[in-house]
Structure 1
């Protein structure tokens, strides 16, 4: 088969076939009377082998060795290709994210694009101080977009820089919540914690809905962050997790204060008190938990907790008895609201 026909059937250009020949990678078995290359079926089969290995990213030199060295083993080379391909994909993903960030900012001209790129370089600096400066004092006073800040928050491990990013995000233009939802739904619990922490500082029903979604998270810290943020917004959906926070800590004092504020709603007062009373029953011998629950009763409005506290003055735990007795004395002097 002549070179033109081989090129047509294999999809490899005649120029590349000549290049293969010059390298000794695929040499046609014969020549015609006129001196033209003539490929045998074995040659064509080798061409397809070469193209198959090229599709895996092997160089022509590596392909020649793989086909001609009977002792060649592919495992080391394949692992090296996997590593290099992964690195290349990481670079491509980083480029794609950067392009999407620039596009989301809707630049009006190339000067705007250059300022965004400069900001991205600042946020990507290995220096925490430089990253914080990029947030608080952006180049040429160009405020970062919400989308850019949300992405930076999810990737930021320094607590001080993260705080600056959350502060800036709450004041940024754009859909801040949408940028954090990928973090809320991430498989990485640390990303979910960062996302919920940032959502807690954002106003609006979209942020509230995202925080409500986080109440079902399998990570206890994520649920606690979400419950505290929702409780501060007056959302009663947070009540069960706030009660759990009182029991488990940390943030039990803050959770108790929020439960007290929510119990000011008569529709929820009895339910909150019942939930706290049930926890006393669930932990009959855990002194630390019972003390936390007793302290939480002090945050209930009016005399709502008085009856339960009177029962606790006879508790088997001496510390609980002392605290409950002191609180009863305070509440009995408090006017019944």
Structure 2
């Protein structure tokens, strides 16, 4: 090793040691050795122990505007929406607005409107580069449509989008329809989130038959190793009670009926939707609220015969526990 190289390495080490010492000095108070705190509101760096102002008139790297409510903040913000799995490009692409106006709010001429329409068309074509992205775009649109019809929250839609992306990435779609896999992903996501929907409800808003949905769901869960627990009747109770405009007391009694039936082993092998509907009907009778079997049947999308059979079993379990 030459003498020049040795000298250069020594200088580099000295500079690094000097920078490290300066960094340690700037992180501690020069008076008491306490830790320093950045006060962004006043643009100062102060000691958290003795209150000494070490630096002042610092540069504020935040926005130069102020907002007093969420709408004003969104209007003034210069960043886009957060990324989301519910869009095929995760929301990173740009969109051309549908308003035929310029930046000053003035209407465009006929020639400019025609040009903007052509740009929108080509922009839409460029957003999907290949068949895989077109597949994903169609499926995510189906998931969003069905979730809106079923009243499922945003978190369920995000999880369903992730499940479909995994199925597409692991090449599980050949031989199955896009709508079927999308419906199965949404059904699994709803059960995993604790807000399940019955197969009949899913088939009603989907474009596939119930039998195809069942087969596809089992295939997706098996191939992706999804941890989907058996549906609990208690997960259906809040929705049924809300749709029937019943009281909180009725929901509490329904939960008690389901819990007593679980202790007696009556839940095994029975539909959780039917048990939840029967528990709501039986609880309404016990709390003297007016509700008919046909109303409960319509909300739960099951037959009245199932409600009659199940609610008698629930009342018998209630009598035995008492």
* Structure with greater Cα Rg: 1
Q: Which has the higher contact order (CA 8 A, sep 6+)?
A: 2
Say which structure is richer in helix: 1
TM-score normalised by L of structure 2: 0.29
